[in-house]
Amino acid sequence: MTVKEIFDTMSYGPAPESAAEALAWLVDQGDRFGHFINGTFTAPGDGFNSQNPATGEVLATLTQATQADVDTAVAAARSAQPKWEKLGGPGRARYLYAIARLLQKHSRLFAVLETMDNGKPIRESRDIDIPLAQRHFYYHAGMAQLMESELPDRAALGVCGQIIPWNFPLLMLAWKVAPAIAMGNTVVLKPAEYTSLTALLFADICRQAGLPKGVVNIVTGDGAVGEMVVAADVDKIAFTGSTAVGRRIREATAGSGKALTLELGGKSPYIVFDDADIDSAVEGLVDAIWFNQGQVCCAGSRLLVQESIAERFHAKLRARMDKLRLGDPLDKCIDVGAVVDPMQLKTITDLVAANDAGATYQAQVDIPEEGCFFRPTLIEGLTPADRLMQDEIFGPVLVSCTFRIPAEAVELANNTRYGLAASVWSENVNLALDIAPKLACGVVWVNGTNMFDAAAGFGGVRESGFGREGGWEGLSAYTKPHAKSKALAQVKGFTGQGSGADPIDRTAKMYIGGKQARPDSGYSRAVHDRSGAILGYVGLGSRKDVRNAVEAAAGAKGWSKTTGHLRAQILYYIGENLSARAEEFAHRIDHMTGRRSGAKEVEASIQRLFTAAAWADKYDGQVHGVPIRGVALAMKEPVGVIGALCADEAPLLGLVSVMAPAIAMGNRVVLTASEPFPLAATDFYQVLDTSDVPAGVVNILTGSHVDLAGPLASHMNVDAVWSFSSTDLSAEIEKASASNLKRTWVNNGTALDWDTDHSRRFLEAATEIKNIWVPYGE
Ligand code: NAI
């Protein structure tokens, strides 16, 4: 080809990266791998092949872990953990730093091996996956260094089971391993069966770094091995993968006391307003949906484009698609590589073939005859209910629809069961920053897409899972409070024969939507004092009352938009009004409980209200510096509707300690009163009534915790459920929570000490962090 011809066609390359070193490394290992347990590779056993999806070539044989392998790995991690934790943050930091350095030193080998194993273009593995993995270890070396000074009240969880997917094999490993070991945990990690090679190379790096044996253990195999890890004697499961498997893991770990974080699927909107820089927004889409062949959980896979520019935008997009270069992922000129495996290719092909809605356009580009390649695809003119607008395709397929006004864009964007990420394109900063807070998701990129950094937490809301990875917020997922907890003991009320009966009905009502409400069941029960005399009656709440209360709470959305300043004033007001009736409440508590702690409990409740009021306008977000032209605003947002079973033993303080921080952060709550001692809660709504609390913000139910837990935990409009009941309902609640993957905080057989102020923990549980990436600086 002459120079003139090159200028005429502007064709690139080829510029292939050599596979020689990676192939040599595989040969060195004998092309057969065992697991990495207790600092050594085990002998290879029965297993399966790992293939290059671009060529079909077998790269190596991997071992399918047996139950005994998983048990040995967990035992190694368990015995290494105390010493690793005791080494202290600065001691651990040295190892993380050494790993980061070695990842840097061998970065090309990692990049090539990743590309061969996964099919992603070398440009991406070389410039994105591997540098970000290194960055994660450097960043968390720093977190280990700072742990003792900055997180003095946090301790390691113990042994963490970690299960990762195939789309970013080394990067997902780094996201999981770095924070875990930085905080003093040890890990058993299972890479995805399609892409385990860089995890095994990483094991080699751990050896080279002299990492103590058993701190990192890697077992290979398919979902069955994942299930073994989930069931093993571990203290936490961290999972990234499909929502279906995430839900199964939620159910499998229910009531086990294992901490859990889930980073699941998405159908992230990519919103283009008519005042966007259109060429940049088109180019952004290349990174949003054709990056990594669209196999990205936060891929901008749903284009929402303003009607007035839609035609022009789609035309430019189709023209850009035709310029994408598909082919050998090892070629440095390639934009789009191979899909990870023939199975995934079939899933994508079938989903697209089954769709008859909208107009499908596939890039007019050459694709290799062999290998797992799929043409970049655009499906225009879909409606929100179309299957491909709702379901994750996890391939290079973009679906699109149009909107007319910003409010419609928000509605369409949020019309999904997922909530991972979103991109907003507009040259108008007012518009972009007006839209960002309205999007139900964990990450928003303004005039950008698919940007990641260790300093900015990543994770979703709704069925995209819970927990964050990265940033300060990611650390709480790998630590627990130092605080000791007591064993849970069932608290019972007094019984009696009904002396003191009153001809006038004194059944305390429930409190729903700012009004007193009779129980739907029509049933009530007596509450007695120590002598057996009747103090009053309370309604027995049922599923229907839960539904009414949730509806009222869901309707009180306006509360979440109020300012912290306003919420603080209302909380102070509640405190003041409670203070005015302190004596009456103290007597009530003393009568119900037969103790003399009422006055102290009321005083502590007033203090909790004042503390929550104090925090309402101070529990601020952060600004993360990220090494890209921009900053990430880590904004604290309310979780939404929180359902809670309040402590039985502290009838007023248990309720107030939950309610105050939750509503201070802008949540609406459905509280189930202390079961044996409910009358303080039913008296309390009179205080709420006189304190300007808007209707629906606080709803109070009475009745059996066992009966109310299920309906609360399975309700699709409840975003989080907490249980401090003295009946251990952890398993039921966590299992039922899998319905919409709501956040849970259950006691797992232990009781909080209500005399201690846990406001910080409550504030954390009452907020979601949304990272909004905005352009900033040069
Ligand atoms: P997957 O969720 O089945 O696999 C992810 C990881 O979980 C792998 O390591 C796998 O071995 C393991 N696993 C599978 N079943 C398990 C179980 N019952 N218990 C414990 N671990 C288990 O995802 P898969 O099948 O590879 O892909 C299917 C779909 O999932 C994709 O088409 C895509 O929609 C979605 N996906 C989403 C990802 C994300 O990052 N959000 C990543 C990978 C897949």
Instruction: Enter the ipTM.
Output: 0.96
What's the 727 CA to ligand 1 centre distance in angstroms?
35
Residues with CB under 6 A from ligand 1: 163-167, 190, 192-193, 222-223, 226-227, 230, 240-242, 245, 248-249, 264-265, 297, 347, 392, 394
- Region 583-601: what's the mean pLDDT? 97
pLDDT digits (tens, 9 = 90+) for 673-694: 999 999 999 999 999 999 999 9
Give me the DSSP letters along 428-455.
-HHHHHHHGGGS-SSEEEES--S---TT
Q: Which residues pair with 336 in a beta bridge?
A: 326
Whether 465 maps to a domain, the answer reads no
Q: Is 625 within the bounds of a domain?
A: no
* Backbone angles phi and psi of 336, in degrees to 5: -125, 125
Taking the centre of ligand 1 as the mean of its atom positions, its distance from the CA of residue 242, in whole angstroms, is: 5
- For residue 370, what are the CA distances in angstroms to 233, 303, 395, 593, 659? 44, 30, 18, 75, 60
Instruction: Choose the catalytic residue: 227, 263, 380, 637.
Output: 263
Q: Which has the closest alpha carbon to 114: 190, 196, 37?
A: 196
Task: Specify the residue with its C-alpha closest to ligand 1, atom 11.
Answer: 223
Cβ atoms of residues 718 and 643 within 8 Å: yes
Tokens at residue 240, please?
A: 């990234």
Distance between Cα 64 and ligand 1 center (Å): 17
Within-domain flag for 687 = yes
Asked if residue 393 and residue 350 are part of one domain, the reply reads: yes
Residue closest via CA to ligand 1's atom 13 equals: 223
Statement: residue 462 has pLDDT above 60: yes
Of all atoms in ligand 1, which is nearest to the CA of residue 264?
A: 41
**Residue among 234, 239, 245 to mutate when testing ligand 1 (max atoms within 8 A of CB):** 245
Tell me what the pLDDT averaged over the chain comes to: 96
What is the predicted pLDDT for the residue at 364?
A: 97
CATH code of residue 576: 3.40.605.10
User: How far away, in angstroms, is 266 Cα from ligand 1 center?
Assistant: 13
pLDDT digits (tens, 9 = 90+) for 536-568: 999 999 999 999 999 999 999 999 999 999 999
Any idea which of 131-145, 165-179, 195-209, 484-498 has the lowest mean pLDDT?
A: 484-498
Give the range of the structural domain holding residue 557, as residue numbers without chain letter: 489-618+639-750
What spacing in Å lies between the alpha carbon of 551 and ligand 1's midpoint? 34
Q: Are 682 and 733 members of one domain?
A: yes
- Please identify, by atom number, the ligand 1 atom nearest to the C-alpha of residue 163: 9
Mark whether 281 and 250 lie in a shared domain: no
**Nearest residue by C-alpha to atom 9 in ligand 1:** 192
Tell me if 461 is assigned to some domain. Answer: no
Active site residue 392: no
pTM: 0.96
Q: Count of domains in the chain? A: 3
Q: Are 163 and 279 found together in one domain?
A: no
Contact present, 73 and 219 (Cβ < 8 Å): yes
Residue 447 shares a structural domain with residue 304: yes
CATH of the domain at 410: 3.40.309.10
